[in-house]
Structure 1
Amino acid sequence: MKIVYIITQATWGGAQAHLYSLIKAQVMRGNAVALVYGVEGRLSASVAKEFQDVQVVRVASLVHPIAPLSDLKAIYTLRKLVKNWQPDIIHLHSSKAGMIGIVGDGSLSAHIAKQIAATPQIRWLGFKSNPYKYMRHAKVVLSTSKSDAFGLTMVEAALLGAIPFAPRIGGISQTAARVNGLVYASDAELLAVLTRLFSDGKFYQETKAKIAAVDFSDYEQRQFIQRIQQVYKGVMER
């Protein structure tokens, strides 16, 4: 089976971690794999280094924001690549790629770091390749994402004993709710719930108890891989 994975940003986050696992699983199955991306980063570097047989191709015009000229260039380039490779499966991993065929190093990182520099109670850690040791000691893992199709961080937080707290957007709010985490719809609600979590011991313990009762078996990596494999199989049998 020949599979092409397309993602706009080959940096690192939930989508990239998921895609890395998919690529690894397909390589182990002996399938031919290619990764096409727009912005390079940890994902593209890791795949290129660890999987020598995977074709890793950057399409510079494949950018995240809507940009008509760049989008047309990306469509043209992707059409040529697909025509040359003739893949059995094209798997798209972002809303932008689909149209075309803990706080880390986000776009506001420098601004936020400057804003909190004079606040000794806040430690700015920036991007961490292994955030889990920090999450394990946290009471709450708060997401401030503007968009997130799944929200892997919310599952990881719950598994590590922290309370997942997500904005009411996309799939991340659904994921937080499924693991009995919390969801906020506004800055005012965010502050109100955080204040209650840290001041109301009963509310905090009750929320923790609900999370501890969750069955996480559906979130095991092998389950995800198996479900996706079934989708691939169904496509191939058409």
Structure 2
Amino acid sequence: MPRRGRRGYPTAMLIGLDLRAAYFWTIYSESAKFYKIFQRNIDDEKSIYRFHEEIVETIRALLHEGFTGIIVASEDRMPYSKIFLDHISKRHRWLDDRVTVKVLTGKATTASQVIQLINANQLQESVANATEETGVKLLEQLDKALDKGNILYTIDELNYVVNSNKKPVTIMVTEEFNQRNQTNRRFQSAIQVSKNIGATVVVIKTTNPASPRLNQLGGFACVITQ
């Protein structure tokens, strides 16, 4: 279980679905936090589109924080997860390039239900699978940036870029690099400024497919636009 008082870094978004609402949770390396509830008007079938769009807009707003997985949970034999995934597939294919979506069978509408998923290791397994698949996507993005020269290797370079016409797009740091620089003011400032202008900041676990390549670069890499 997560240690009390520690949040950790972002890993996944958990969406618990039932007939009446969506329960949105943010999952971190050391904690799980309730974020928001989306109510659905069950008497108006047309409202389901707006209901799903509200969820997607919240996902879009949080992606730059570095969440690499979306876990959609609902009871077995209930269609809620499938209907939402169909909505994403038809109208938001851009999500496939940014993050990995996984389905989890189980309830995630209350804190006690989320704790049960954690105690049964179901949530951790789903998050691990999602982040691993997203790691492959990040590795492809990193390789393309290396080929084009659209890459930064140091905090000093990032500090320079955030004050120039170029723009950081994705910042990747290993778990070890992130831990070492928790008290580094230049690093924390550059990361916050990058987030403020729309960059995604992702912490990469040792087991992630992108970790070996990132370690070769010193544990830090930033993809930029020219």
Q: TM-score if structure 1 supplies the norm length?
A: 0.27
The higher relative CO (CA closer than 8 Å, separation ≥ 6) is in 2
Question: Which protein is richer in helix relative to its size?
Answer: 1
More strand by share: 2
